[in-house]
Amino acid sequence: MQLTYPGGDVPQERGVCSDVVIRALRSQKVDLQKLVHEDMAEEFAEYPQKWQLKRPDSNIDHRRVPNLETWFSRHDKHAPPARTPVIIKRAILSPGD
């Protein structure tokens, strides 16, 4: 899918987990598409090479979780640790739930 650059997005009714992060930050005037693309253009070898690409692709790179993890790590952007433990309750699920 061809996205506009900068500021491109897939339709609101579509998306993956990384799109939630991208949209949340974009609402705060932070364009991860642009930031990730620019950083990958400068330091492509620092990013995961799982997709056999020869250069950055502004249409998809910012939507790949390993690339986002790399960008956040390279720019020392980490969420503070949770102050209280998260408790996950077991649920009984049936097929189709």
pLDDT in tens, the chain (97 residues): 787 777 777 877 888 888 888 998 988 999 999 999 999 999 999 999 999 999 999 989 998 999 999 999 999 887 777 666 655 566 666 666 5
Amino acid letter, 13: E
Half-sphere exposure of residue 65, counting CA atoms within 13 Å on the CB side? 5
Whole-angstrom distance, CA of residue 25 vs CA of residue 62? 12
pLDDT of residue 95: 66
pLDDT of residue 10: 80
Q: What's the predicted TM-score (pTM) here?
A: 0.74
